[in-house]
């Protein structure tokens, strides 16, 4: 085990942030930074693998930074930046692309899902997405990468790419990163339909808690959340099939930072008439301070850009030795 843990993680800069983004990813980053040296970045180069409106992309990047900092990502502890500002990502990605057999990419299930029926119309970048992702972590000699279920295959590929590059060049250019199995990211579902993920594109605004919702709106949305007439059970197993109830328990547990079983221990036998107001109070108490900081910072583009520029500079310095070694390993003169 390496004495020093270095974790690298990226997030796509989606706009209209909501509770699902916060509890699903952002909150875990805030915790991670106390356990490890962390590099966190906005995967803007990944975002352009599909069509993006340029003005929206830039705005989404800045919004995500505001949200991350508001939620507790501390730029004194961690390095926070956007990928495009550290050219080493793109440079290494090209070297790795030239070293990755197409057959390996053909096996990636996410490409199959994202490209859908129109594979021939998908960009070459979307196909190569996992190779850029490999570059993201290999460039920093990451020891750990937090991976959800959907990213496991991409981390395996990064390890295969690193092994092949080291072997082909008879060097030890890259360290093989390990998966970081932290808390499983909460999977937050729509408040109107327990089978659909909470999403910025759901036409019903009642289906999600937006990062910008005021206290009354948060409370109202939980009050109107879909549930069933049964009281809350003693055990998690008894929640099976009660998707809406399960979701609300999951949200409560994630917000309070306790186990779902602990939530049930407190509310078993009670109905939603008791549970929903408690959940609404908890949500407001946790989210209101984040929302207020978010809105304040969001208006300060100069401050956000300063954070990103500083982060990119620090990241670029850490990337340089590996980038130089990779060029050298391939015999490229520079």
Among 7, 9, 173, 190, binds ligand TRP (CB under 6 A): 9
Single out the segment in contact with ligand TRP by CB under 6 A; choices: 6-14, 215-223, 305-313, 316-324.
Answer: 6-14
131 interacts with ligand TRP by CB under 6 A: no
CB 77 within 8 A of CB 320: no
The 8-class DSSP code of residue 120 comes to G
36 interacts with ligand TRP by CB under 6 A: no
Task: Give the length of the chain.
Answer: 334
Give how many residues touch ligand TRP by CB under 6 A. Answer: 12
Residues within window 146-175 making contact with ligand TRP, judged by CB under 6 A: 151
d(CA 99, CA 243): 45
Q: How far is the CB of 226 from ligand TRP (least distance, A)?
A: 28
Where are any strands of DSSP class E within the chain?
6-11, 37-42, 79-82, 144-146, 178-180
The 8-class DSSP code of residue 23 comes to I
Distances in Å between the Cα of 144 and the Cα atoms of 29, 80, 140, 201, 298 are 13, 17, 11, 32, 30
Instruction: List, in order, residues 6 or more apart from 39 with CB less than 8 Å away.
Output: 6, 7, 8, 9, 78, 79, 81, 140, 142, 315, 318
Single out the segment in contact with ligand TRP by CB under 6 A; choices: 53-61, 132-140, 230-238, 259-267.
Answer: 132-140
10 interacts with ligand TRP by CB under 6 A: yes
Tell me whether residue 50 or residue 196 sits nearer to ligand TRP (CB atom). 50
Residue keyed to tokens 């990779």: 326
136 interacts with ligand TRP by CB under 6 A: yes
276 given a catalytic annotation: no
Count of alpha carbons within 13 Å of 81, Cβ hemisphere only? 24
200 given a catalytic annotation: yes
Tell me whether residue 114 or residue 242 sits nearer to ligand TRP (CB atom). 114
Q: How far is the CB of 273 from ligand TRP (least distance, A)?
A: 38
CB 144 within 8 A of CB 37: no
46 interacts with ligand TRP by CB under 6 A: yes
> Quick one: which of 37, 57, 41 has its CA closest to 89?
41
Among 133, 190, 227, 247, binds ligand TRP (CB under 6 A): 133
114 given a catalytic annotation: yes
Q: How far is the CB of 28 from ligand TRP (least distance, A)?
A: 12
Q: How far is the CB of 58 from ligand TRP (least distance, A)?
A: 18
Single out the segment in contact with ligand TRP by CB under 6 A; choices: 2-10, 194-202, 249-257, 314-322.
Answer: 2-10
Among 69, 92, 137, 323, binds ligand TRP (CB under 6 A): 137
d(CA 99, CA 67): 37
- Among residues 197, 220, 246, 276, the one annotated as catalytic is 197
What is the bridge-based pairing of β-strands 37-42 and 144-146? unpaired
> Under the rule (CB under 6 A), what is the footprint of ligand TRP?
8-12, 43, 46, 133, 136-137, 145, 151
Which residues are catalytic, by number? 114, 197, 200
């Amino acid at each position: 085990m390496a004495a020093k843990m270095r974790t690298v993680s990226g997030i796509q800069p989606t706009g209209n942030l909501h509770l699902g983004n916060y509890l699903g990813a952002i909150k875990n980053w805030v915790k991670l930074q106390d356990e490890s040296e962390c590099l966190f970045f906005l995967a803007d180069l990944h975002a352009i693998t599909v069509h993006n409106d340029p003005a929206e992309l830039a705005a989404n990047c800045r919004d995500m930074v505001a949200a991350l900092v508001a939620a507790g990502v501390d730029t004194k502890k961690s390095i926070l930046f956007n990928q495009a500002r550290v050219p080493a990502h793109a440079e290494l990605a090209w070297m790795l692309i030239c070293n990755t057999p197409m057959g390996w990419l053909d096996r990636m299930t996410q490409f199959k899902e994202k490209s859908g029926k129109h594979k021939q119309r998908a960009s070459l970048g979307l196909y190569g997405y996992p190779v850029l992702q490999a570059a993201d972590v290999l460039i920093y000699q990451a020891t750990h990468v937090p991976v959800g279920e959907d990213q496991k295959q991409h981390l395996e590929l990064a390890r295969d790419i690193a092994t092949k590059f080291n072997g082909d060049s008879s060097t030890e250019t890259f360290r093989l990163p390990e998966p970081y199995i932290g808390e499983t990211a909460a999977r937050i579902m729509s408040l109107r339909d327990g089978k659909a993920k909470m999403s910025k594109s759901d036409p019903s605004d009642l289906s999600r808690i937006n990062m910008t919702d005021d206290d009354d709106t948060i409370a109202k949305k939980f009050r109107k959340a879909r549930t069933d007439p049964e009281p809350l059970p003693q055990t998690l197993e008894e929640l099976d099939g009660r998707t809406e109830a399960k979701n609300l328990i999951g949200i409560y547990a994630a917000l309070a930072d306790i186990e779902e079983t602990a939530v049930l221990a407190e509310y078993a036998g009670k109905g939603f008439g008791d549970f929903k107001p408690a959940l609404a109070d908890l949500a407001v108490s946790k989210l209101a301070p984040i929302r207020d900081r978010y809105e304040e910072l969001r208006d300060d583009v100069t401050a956000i850009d300063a954070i990103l520029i500083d982060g990119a500079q620090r990241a670029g310095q850490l990337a340089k030795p590996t980038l130089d070694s990779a060029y050298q390993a391939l015999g490229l003169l520079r």
